Structure 1
């Protein structure tokens, strides 16, 4: 492990941008490409918004925790809530499935996260919350020194 951080914040939608900015600062030394930055920001946005909307159902008293570890050119990030949990993770990860159709949710969050991450894991327990963990290798735009 080269570096590690943990950030906890209340489950308010405005804190989604806080989480994105924190992770961008955390990985800056790896010199990620624009595409990698965009992909990581999207994963963070999806995971945090899922925690707020689905985990806490908009209850702003909930806490979302983001934990990141940087090892070499790889980052691993976990977004965790302590909300209601997911009854059927496999079903929730199906493209176009949403439990919040009335909120105009697309049901593509997990699909998007999976497509941008090298690895994605979802752990959830009813009444205890959900943890989304992803791993991504950063290719770096730096020119190697010879």
Structure 2
């Protein structure tokens, strides 16, 4: 079963909840478990929040791009911004690393993504933006295919 959806929304904090609802609606027909649904909504929330807070430094006049794909039993999620980029991706992916301690950011966003998803890839270029690609096998989809 193959499906794809592409969304673009403004870089405002209210759209983090929108992105969570979109991904939940997209995967519901594939009968995810409650745990899978919760994990996926959480990683989308983390990635979108990173784009808004870090990528665009809170600017609300920019765009966040989200692509959702279901193919060969795998959900793929891509969250992309065209913001500041990450100077050192390896450092940024370390647990507890944050560039916004004054905002009480935990620095656990990438760690959460890596924990809940099967694969996480972060591609970033300073002044050009960041793309986060994540994928997860859904147990319910796998079961239907056998």
Which piece of structure 1 moves more, 134-143 or 118-127? Answer: 134-143
Measure the CA separation in 1 of the matches of 2:130 and 2:94: 17
> 1:97 is matched with which residue?
97
User: Deviation string for 1:5-48 (max 9, x for gaps)?
Assistant: 10000000000111111111111111000000000000000000
Does residue 117 of structure 2 align to residue 117 of structure 1? Answer: yes
Please state whether the residue corresponding to 1:140 is helix, strand or coil.
helix
Does residue 57 of structure 2 align to residue 57 of structure 1? Answer: yes
Measure the CA separation in 1 of the matches of 2:143 and 2:50: 37
Provide runs of 4+ in structure 1 moved above 3 Å: 141-144
CA contact (8 A) 2:48 2:79 kept: yes
CA contact (8 A) 2:73 2:141 kept: no
CA contact (8 A) 1:33 1:141 kept: no
Measure the CA separation in 1 of the matches of 2:82 and 2:143: 42
CA RMSD of aligned residues (A): 1.9
Mark the runs of 5 or more structure 2 residues left unpaired by the alignment: none
> 1:37 is matched with which residue?
37
CA contact (8 A) 1:12 1:60 kept: yes
Which piece of structure 1 moves more, 32-41 or 22-31? Answer: 22-31
**TM-score with structure 2 setting the length:** 0.95
CA contact (8 A) 1:16 1:45 kept: yes
Measure the CA separation in 2 of the matches of 1:126 and 1:67: 22
Mark the runs of 5 or more structure 1 residues left unpaired by the alignment: none
Higher helix share: 2
**TM-score with structure 1 setting the length:** 0.95
Aligned residues: 146
> 1:10 is matched with which residue?
10
Measure the CA separation in 1 of the matches of 2:109 and 2:24: 20
1:141 shift after superposition: 8.5
CA contact (8 A) 1:31 1:142 kept: no
Measure the CA separation in 2 of the matches of 1:114 and 1:101: 21
